[in-house]
């Protein structure tokens, strides 16, 4: 087992992070995987992607001792078919992160700081957000921006596409190892929704989450 972190939040949400240290075979042998997920694995060509899926199931089995089935809405948002608990999932080659809450909408995203975020700057940030970028901590800033917008997108769980640059506004911030973020989601009818997020840097990865 490779549970890396458990983080209980004040709003009754809990974050679980699994570090993928096992081989694919080790994950297969140590994890009870439902038949539909096993079938899905046969269509995934990437070994890294299969390991992420298996590690996600291993973490779900650890969080929930009872047998749970993972489904997905049409927009891709995961949900537990036989539990009312709300969840959000994110993974990289190294980590799987899951956040849970008894009933609140939520979202989480985790990304490696080794990723190239140049496309994020061009496509996902507004002009004002790009102007706020600092040369000193640009990669970390871009990673936080991207994870924050992804977490919000997951939390909103809308049936239609979202323009990250136009519909998700992140207030100016100075990047640290951990911190809070304020954001606004602008619906296509013009109504605005204020959101509060938190972030943390772990092992050269950025993790951002939003609850409620």
Q: What is the pLDDT of residue 160?
A: 84
| Shared-domain flag, residues 99 and 17 | yes
Q: Reply yes or no on whether the pLDDT at 4 is more than 80.
A: yes
Decide: 170 and 183 in contact? Cβ < 8 Å.
yes
**Distance, CA of 50 to CA of 54 (rounded, Å):** 6
Percent of the chain with pLDDT over 70: 100
Mean pLDDT of the chain: 95
The sign of the dihedral angle between the CA atoms of 129, 17, 88, 22 is positive
Residues 163-170: what's their mean pLDDT?
A: 98
Shared-domain flag, residues 117 and 94: no
Contact indicator for 55, 15 with CB cutoff of 8 Å: no
| Contact indicator for 12, 45 with CB cutoff of 8 Å | no
Q: What is the mean pLDDT of residues 127-145?
A: 95
Domain that residue 74 falls in: 3-103
pLDDT at 135 over 90: no
Predicted confidence (pLDDT) at residue 78 exceeds the cutoff of 90: yes
pLDDT of residue 1: 59
> Is the per-residue pLDDT at 144 higher than 90?
yes
pLDDT value, residue 64: 93
**Rounded Cα gap, residues 210 and 148, in angstroms:** 8
Query: Looking at the structure, do residues 152 and 96 belong to the same domain, yes or no?
Result: no
Q: What is the mean pLDDT of residues 65-82?
A: 90
Bridge partners of 180?
Answer: 198
Residue 75 has a pLDDT of 86
Q: Which of 76, 103, 130 is the last residue of a domain?
A: 103
Among 88, 103, 118, the domain boundary falls at 103
Residue 189 neighbours by CB under 8 Å, 6+ apart: none
pLDDT computed for residue 88 by the predictor: 98
In this structure, the answer to whether residues 88 and 168 fall within a common structural domain is no
Would the pLDDT of 16 be above 70?
Answer: yes
3-state secondary structure of 54: helix
pLDDT at residue 76, as a whole number: 87
Q: Which of 53, 84, 103 is the last residue of a domain?
A: 103
- Supply the DSSP string of 111-167, one letter for each residue: EETTS--HHHHHHTS-HHHHHT--STTHHHHHHHHHHHHHHHHHHH--SS---HHHH
Instruction: Based on the fold, state whether residues 88 and 150 are members of the same structural domain.
Output: no
pLDDT tops 70 at residue 59: yes
Residue 166's CATH number: 3.90.470.20
- The per-residue pLDDT for 56 is 97
Number of structural domains (the chain) is 2
**Average pLDDT for residues 33-50, to the nearest whole number?**
94
Same domain, 24 and 63: yes
């Amino acid at each position: 087992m490779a549970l890396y972190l458990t983080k209980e939040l004040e709003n009754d949400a809990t974050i679980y992070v699994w570090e993928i240290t096992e081989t694919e075979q080790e994950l297969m042998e140590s994890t009870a995987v439902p038949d539909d997920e096993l079938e899905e694995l046969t269509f995934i060509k990437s070994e890294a992607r299969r390991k992420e899926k298996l590690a996600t199931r291993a973490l779900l089995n650890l969080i929930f001792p009872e047998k749970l089935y993972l489904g997905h809405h049409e927009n891709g948002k995961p949900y537990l078919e036989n539990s009312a608990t709300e969840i959000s999932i994110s993974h990289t080659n190294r980590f799987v992160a899951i956040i849970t809450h008894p009933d609140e909408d939520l979202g989480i995203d985790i990304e490696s700081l080794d990723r190239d975020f140049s496309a994020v700057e061009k496509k996902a940030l507004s002009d004002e957000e790009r102007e706020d970028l600092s040369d000193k901590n640009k990669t970390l800033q871009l990673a936080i921006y991207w994870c924050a917008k992804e977490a919000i997108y997951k939390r909103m769980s809308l049936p239609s596409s979202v323009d990250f640059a136009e519909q998700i506004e992140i207030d100016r911030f100075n990047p640290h190892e951990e911190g809070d973020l304020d954001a606004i989601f602008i619906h296509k009818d013009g109504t605005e929704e204020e959101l509060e997020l938190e972030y943390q840097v772990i092992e050269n990865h950025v993790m951002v989450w939003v609850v409620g």
